Structure 1
């Protein structure tokens, strides 16, 4: 079938009203890249009035998307440039008879690298050493053989499992779906098979966790999935790493847990609120490393998004399943 694709905002309405992804992206360059991706996928770049597909680059305005779909009812597919689409769930837009796809999994490579970096930095006390203007020996802890629990079984978890293999970690993946997460099959390099467990297993797993990594979608069910009760179950030497959404962790509970020595360190690429206000106690804590939502680069985001668009346009034309389809029931 033909794939007639529009991009919003239109060329006439170009604006720098916000970033379309997890890093600052030049909107004009991104539009051009997506236009080329549509063409490579065999589609046609058309105005909204002629489109049956839409690449939506307008951040944080679900009402505008609703109005756009109301005005152009022939659009049957919408591609988002983000992995997380929680801002659009409450608008009811996903209840429409439209296929929505997002960028979930597209940026997993760099985000998983970032999670590994934050983990190693926390274990080795890098933040404390970097903040101290003088000689500051810190006893390092190795990642080798550590018990790692990953909340989330998507692309980031898959990539992180692969990166952790050389360290011989004992890995557990906590995910909503019962099937094994990709990458958790036994291989010659890792004789111990990482377990895939349901969310109900989390309380039993936390006391046996050295490193807790959050890499899951934000939904009403996963907001504050790590709060005071969960932090209290972790051993005092545990570190917490969040590369998903800040609201997965109860920030007040995290501050209290660090103050009480309930956990030993935290590596945060995301915070709640975000940006974290000046003067917040997490900024001053030498056991906390914050990287200001910078797990992936603008170039990487744009390149991976264009590759996703190209493949999905080709899939649309060929009648194949699209990548990154959003489940209206779960909101991701």
Structure 2
């Protein structure tokens, strides 16, 4: 069998090149490639030669590629869904603890013990809903369980998530929100999920509830979120993603002491290809063996 020919574009990368060589493949120019590993965005995406049978995207979200009309039905497409889940889950837990333990408010004030002390809460005995419980949810669940929380997983199919106490299908999201102390959003950005957190759904939560978003900014109606936060409908919000990104310097959420915004660093760019490399190697092995690939894209679903 001839050597697997893989192009890495739009720039070379040592981690991905090592993964390709690990499975006996070779890095070649795009014109000679069977597989394209694309580590850029949709801007500048090249015209693909007919030799390319599979395109491996380095991002989990594919909305911008879909909107740009990049995906076609001539070849196989995969994304990086699940590849970065462990790091994102770690960041989600940090954000949730930062809120419930009042670390966020403490960092924005000066020894405000009278205000901070009564608001400190524990995850022990709480219920945390993970909405969009795919790869991130599977990694986050044991971390939450280790903190003593009950995990309520919400996914599209309702198939049980390993380790979760309860799993429900997405058509029962309202029920899950009403039963939860806190919520972590890990869902894709699709027409069905945009502004899924709005005035009505935020009101299903509790005055002490924190909402954490490590998925996509448009999942939350930020005007509704601001209203809920200032009216005391919920306890706080911890966001690694916003809509748009970055938010304006005078965005009103910045002024609230029960909000933390991190600049989309749950999956830091500097470690992206290093995190992706072992999954690429596994997918290349599967490709050569004729096995089902990880993270095959379903374009009409948007993920």
Q: Which residue of 2 aligns with 1:8?
A: 9
Matched, 1:256 2:227: yes
Number of aligned residues? 299
Q: Is the deviation greater in 282-291 or in 303-312?
A: 303-312
Q: Which residue of 1 aligns with 2:130?
A: 150
Shift of 1:133: 2.8
Cα gap change, 1:251/1:299 in structure 2, threshold over 3 Å: closer, same or farther?
Answer: same
Q: Which residue of 2 aligns with 1:305?
A: 276
Structure 1: stretches of 5+ with no match in the other structure: 15-27, 185-193
Matched, 1:315 2:286: yes
| Greater relative contact order (CA < 8 Å, ≥ 6 in sequence) | 1
Q: Which residue of 2 aligns with 1:126?
A: 103
Matched, 1:41 2:23: yes
Q: Which residue of 2 aligns with 1:117?
A: 94
Matched, 1:180 2:153: no
Contact 1:208 1:235 in 2 (8 A): no
Q: Distance in 2 between matches of 1:325 and 1:166?
A: 31
Q: Which residue of 2 aligns with 1:187?
A: none
TM-score normalized with structure 2 length: 0.93
Q: Is the deviation greater in 210-219 or in 35-44?
A: 35-44
Task: Indicate the RMSD between aligned Cα atoms, in angstroms.
Answer: 1.7
Contact 1:3 1:316 in 2 (8 A): no
1:20-169 map, 5 Å: 31-61=13-43, 64-65=44-45, 67-69=46-48, 72-137=49-114, 138-139=116-117, 140-169=120-149
Contact 1:106 1:304 in 2 (8 A): yes
Q: Distance in 2 between matches of 1:258 and 1:320?
A: 48
Structure 2: stretches of 5+ with no match in the other structure: none
Q: Is the deviation greater in 247-256 or in 90-99?
A: 90-99
Cα gap change, 1:175/1:88 in structure 2, threshold over 3 Å: closer, same or farther?
Answer: same
Shift of 1:142: 0.6
Q: Which residue of 2 aligns with 1:246?
A: 217
